Amino acid sequence: MQESDINLDGELDREEFVKFIRRLTKDTFFTVSQGLILTLAVAPTVALLTKRTTENVPGVGKVVQKIPNSVYASLVTLVIVAFQQGAERS
């Protein structure tokens, strides 16, 4: 924060504050975007692939076949999101 204080008066004026916030959050957008892409695009695709694989497993396959693709993909996506949040907290 002291690096953003251009006029060295010990306080950040509006322009200094804006520069400070931009520098502070420049990597945040990329990180959040990457997480959203993973969660919203990759997770449902992985879910459908795992569903097809588990449909052939004896005992579990019949149950998995009865679950609609949209519900199964949503459940797997929620599990992935919960796992990501748990990993971030650790």
Local confidence pLDDT in tens for the 90 residues of the chain: 556 666 666 666 677 788 878 877 877 777 777 777 777 788 888 888 989 998 889 988 899 899 999 899 888 888 887 887 777 776
Q: Identify the pLDDT of residue 71.
A: 92
Q: HSE on the CB side for 62, CA within 13 Å? A: 2
Q: Domain boundaries in the chain? A: 2-89
Maximum alpha-carbon separation in the chain:
72
